[in-house]
């Protein structure tokens, strides 16, 4: 039996195309199917339009990825200025930045090798600077420190994403760590005396605990290493 064509008047109206809609669609594709699936053509298909129509709002795929990263960073909530000491506030901003980047597979990789210039990334830098201004550090050291802390957040988020992808193919975190532990037991003490000397301590501590220690170590090093005279 032939089907009756659906009148355009009976179809639900499409949401007007915009940069915001394209970015949200890109994030949805990324979360559902991964970075490899994120193409301009795929975004156009999801929005029931041609890829050419997207270029009115985004320059290219790289521009779209930059906008997606900035949208993700918009979820970072900044602590009030009167909440805790400057180190507590700075730690919150860094940890929340890591969390925001980590929510979307491989999105943190977009930030590597790029100087932050998007609105939400700049807000993060501004809050980090604001906290560091209460540390007694000189402006040059603060500038270096912000660069280091943002790199730490980006690299940590990228590692979180890679670790989750690895667990998809290796099973649970427990089974993966147990496999590494079993591999260590096969190592020769002649070849790896120091690794085997640490033993199970090599795998001790949760990812959160190690992350907190790394950040504290960075702050300790920053406070004790002025940048003046290095440029």
CATH number of 76-224: 1.10.357.10
Reported as a pLDDT band with limits 50, 70 and 90, residue 12 is low
- Identify whether the C-beta of residue 149 lies closer than 8 Å to the C-beta of residue 128: yes
Element (DSSP H or E) covering residue 221: helix 207-224
CATH class assigned to 14-58 = mainly alpha
- Identify whether the C-beta of residue 77 lies closer than 8 Å to the C-beta of residue 124: no
229 token code pair: 């005279």
pLDDT at 98 over 90: yes
From-to residues of CATH 1.10.10.60 in the chain? 14-58
Q: How far apart are CA 210 and CA 50, in angstroms?
A: 46
What is the torsional sign of CA 100, 104, 108, 111?
negative
From-to residues of CATH 1.10.357.10 in the chain? 76-224
3-class DSSP state for residue 61? helix
- Evaluate if pTM is beyond 0.75: yes
101-125 per-position pLDDT tens digit: 999 989 999 999 889 999 999 999 9
Find the distance separating the first CA and the last CA of the chain, reported in whole Å: 79
30-48 per-position pLDDT tens digit: 999 999 999 999 999 999 9
- Identify whether the C-beta of residue 68 lies closer than 8 Å to the C-beta of residue 29: no
Q: How far apart are CA 172 and CA 29, in angstroms?
A: 25
Mean pLDDT for the stretch of residues 58-75: 97
Element (DSSP H or E) covering residue 91: helix 86-102
pLDDT at 167 over 80: no
């Amino acid at each position: 039996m032939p089907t009756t064509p659906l009148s355009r008047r009976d179809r639900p109206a499409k949401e007007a195309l915009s940069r915001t809609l394209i970015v949200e669609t890109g994030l949805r594709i990324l979360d559902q199917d991964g970075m490899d699936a994120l193409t301009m053509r795929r975004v156009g298909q999801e929005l029931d339009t041609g890829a050419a129509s997207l270029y009115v709002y985004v320059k290219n795929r790289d521009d779209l990825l930059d906008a997606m990263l900035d949208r993700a960073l918009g979820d970072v909530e900044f602590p009030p200025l009167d909440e805790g000491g400057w180190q507590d506030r700075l730690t919150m901003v860094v940890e929340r930045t890591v969390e925001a980047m980590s929510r979307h597979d491989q999105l943190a990789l977009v930030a590597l090798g790029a100087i932050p210039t998007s609105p939400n990334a700049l807000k993060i830098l501004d809050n980090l600077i604001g906290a560091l201004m209460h540390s007694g550090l000189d402006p040059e050291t603060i500038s270096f420190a912000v660069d280091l802390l943002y790199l730490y957040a980006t690299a940590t988020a990228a590692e979180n994403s890679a670790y989750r992808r690895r667990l998809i193919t290796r099973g649970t975190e427990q089974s993966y760590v147990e496999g590494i532990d079993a591999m260590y037991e096969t190592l020769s003490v002649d070849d790896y005396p120091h690794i085997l000397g640490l033993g199970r301590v090599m795998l001790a501590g949760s990812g959160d605990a190690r992350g907190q220690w790394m950040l504290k170590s960075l702050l300790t090093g920053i406070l004790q290493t002025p940048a003046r005279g290095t440029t």
